[in-house]
Amino acid sequence: MQIWTGQSYPLGATFDGSGTNFALFSEAAERVELCLLDEDGTERRIEVTEVDAFVWHVYLPSVQPGQRYGYRVHGAYDPAGGHRCDPSKLLLDPYAKAIAGMASNHPSLYSYSFEDHEARNTDDSSQHTMHSVVVSPFFDWGNDHPPAHEYHDTVIYEAHVKGLTMLHPDIDDDIRGTYVAMGEPAIIEHLTELGVTAIELMPVHQFVQDGHLVEKEMRNYWGYNTIGFFAPHNEYAHAGDTGQQVQEFKQMVKNLHEANIEVILDVVYNHTAEGNQMGPTLCFRGIDNAAYYRLVEDDKAHYYDTTGTGNSLLMRTPHVLQLIMDSLRYWVTEMHVDGFRFDLASTLARELHEVDRLSAFFDIIQQDPIISQVKLIAEPWDLGEGGYQVGGFPPLWSEWNGHYRDTVRDFHRSEPGVIGDFTSRLAGSSDLYQHTGRTPIASINFVTAHDGFTMRDLVSYNDRHNEANGEGGNDGESHNRSWNSGVEGPSEDPEVRALRLRRAKNLMATLLVSQGVPMILHGDEMGRTQGGNNNTYCQDNELSWMSWELDTDQMDMLWFTQQMIALRRDHPIFRRRRFLQGVVRDEADSALPDVEWLGTDGVPMTAEDWESPQNKCLTMFLNGSAIPEPTLRGERIVDDSALLLFNASGNDVDFVLPPADHGASWTVAIGTGETVDIGTALDAEQSISRPAHSLLVLTRPPMEDIEEPADGNHEQTTRA
């Protein structure tokens, strides 16, 4: 085999059509061996002698895509000093574009003896660990281009590759649960008919099955246990772990883009699957432990952990920052994804101890001409001190709005004293974001997500039911802000079932008429249940997978969700780009403000209405002629106006529509509960009875069309 010098950049294994360049960063290394593995596990070791700026590199002209490889790094094993080099462990390439196999929980993966934790374990791990794979970068993208939906037009659908596709009857058995299945017409048709514009995939970076789950014959279903930041998870590949997972992932993205659907990845850069000091040595720990991980300052044998997983990446070293940026850029430029949701993003902002909005991570994101132009969404909390940072991220970022989730849940379970906070969430949470110059798109609004109850379970259970997880029912969140509608769990009582369906519709409708960016959990549109389990991270089975066999209530929920998404799409009044101000615009019909909060009597709410803890009803008026922002072509947007009637109380309530200056006649757009038919006309100041736990949306066209000035120097008008 010919061995050439190679280059120190780019890092990882890079096939150029003739051979492959290998480059690995390690400041701690004294020697590095590149190990090539045959199909039968035979290993050939090649001494890497060239090193520049702590990057060890070599070029092998004969190595082609599909070649499995790993590294053995020789250096200090001194846990007290922060160093854990161990050449008995075959290590993954941190920049591996594909990974073969799955690490077992074999003792050889650990650098200590299970019998005596102070004793070294030098058993070779190569037959029990994962292997890096050289891949071909070539793929025919055709005329693929990003859909590039503007944020305010976006509806996000959080989904799991396996969970969404595993039970679909129109997908062949052998491809279910794979990237191929995700790109199948049956799935894309469901997404397009639903009306979502982006799918947010739960982790698809290569992850590891946790040892404690393997021992219990369970699996890590969610995938928040990353080991490869460049590699698509191999268990979701139809062709297995030969490196074809890269091609399959690209084809999935291409198919979704053809349907005008963006692909957002849920990424986990805050920690790795190697865990704490008792974890396995798979990659980073054995390459350069002190450079990759945050260690306890005065006890470097232990890891500083703000994630609850055992370790946190060291965000103040240039090599970790480079790793993350190279990974993000790779997924955008080579894999064509459209954005990222960052798990436990507060950890990424911790250069020292505190969460810092001005940390280096945010600086390099801001100045990057590629990453700064895609959708960036933070989960704005971690488990460390001061980690809850909703509203605290820089202007470039959107955030999962935990305040929105909590308030909407409380309002619709009739909690007292939340009316004021509820109106803030409906209006886009300006109290959280406006002070930093951000707009409503900073708020990713959600009521449910993968972590917690589904929407159906939210209205069917008071308590978590996680016994299947094998942790005595003690895992998961105990305070769910849920209400079981009178009976815990499944019920055949028609009144209970009707109430649950109505309440689920109320939650979905609220989500889709709120200012900001809505995110729907996959299956909520079809009434998916997890049997009251609010922490299905280890349930890789039908408890978590999405069933496509729908009863009448589920079909009703699906139809209702489709209608609500269409209503939002057709009316800019529900997806403004600027915050509501409660002021009058000159162009507004009848000199009405852009938003008004009315009582059940149809007039503006009084101080007593706002302050009463028992007030659980309101009417929101949205003025479609008072949308200040123009379109990209400079046209001023004029839309229908809307009335949103909310009754979150347990009683039927009479609502009086506002006086004629708000509109002489209103039309029913959609509603929940025993309601008047869609299209029914209602007059100003008419009284209408609304059932307990219900919602009604009314619309009317502008009172007058806006006249164009004769001089030609005019502001154009676009009717929605």
Residues carrying an active site annotation: 343, 379
> What's the sign of the alpha-carbon dihedral 547, 548, 552, 556?
positive
Indicate the helix (H) or strand (E) that contains 190: helix 185-194
CB neighbour list of residue 392: distance below 8 Å, 6 or more residues apart:
355, 357, 380
Token code pair at residue 159: 């989904």
CB neighbour list of residue 348: distance below 8 Å, 6 or more residues apart:
269, 270, 315, 324, 342, 359, 361
The tokens 């809307």 sit on which residue? Answer: 642
CA–CA distance from 373 to each of 255, 321, 339, 346, 678 (Å)? 22, 18, 9, 21, 41
Q: Are 130 and 92 in contact (CB under 8 A)?
A: yes
Task: State which amino acid sits at residue 16.
Answer: D
Token code pair at residue 251: 């084809």
C-alpha span between 688 and 631 (Å, rounded): 37
C-alpha span between 671 and 193 (Å, rounded): 20
Measured CA angle at 518 (ends 516, 231), to 5 deg: 115
C-alpha span between 457 and 436 (Å, rounded): 36
Strands 717-719 and 681-683, sheet pairing: unpaired
Other Cβ atoms closer than 10 A to 242: 17
Task: State which amino acid sits at residue 610.
Answer: W
CA atoms within 13 A of residue 363's CA, in its CB half-sphere: 11
DSSP conformation letters of 395-415: TT-EEE-HHHHHHHHHHHTT-
Closest C-alpha among 688, 668, 27 to residue 317:
27
Token code pair at residue 172: 């062949």
C-alpha span between 401 and 446 (Å, rounded): 7
CB neighbour list of residue 590: distance below 8 Å, 6 or more residues apart:
661, 662, 703
Closest C-alpha among 352, 343, 356, 351 to residue 382:
343
CB neighbour list of residue 39: distance below 8 Å, 6 or more residues apart:
none
Question: SS3 sequence, 660-705?
Answer: HHHCCEEEEEEECCCCCCCCCEEECCCEEEECCCEEEEEEECCCCC
Q: Are 126 and 158 in contact (CB under 8 A)?
A: no
- b or e along 294-324 (b: 16 or more beta carbons within 10 Å of the residue's beta carbon)? bbeeeebebbbbbbebbbbbbbebebbbebb
Token code pair at residue 391: 């509203």
Task: State which amino acid sits at residue 526.
Answer: M
Other Cβ atoms closer than 10 A to 14: 20
C-alpha span between 646 and 656 (Å, rounded): 12
Determine the distance from the C-alpha atom of residue 484 to the mean position of all C-alpha atoms in its chain, rounded to a whole number. Answer: 27
C-alpha span between 438 and 578 (Å, rounded): 9
Beta bridge partners of 630: 636
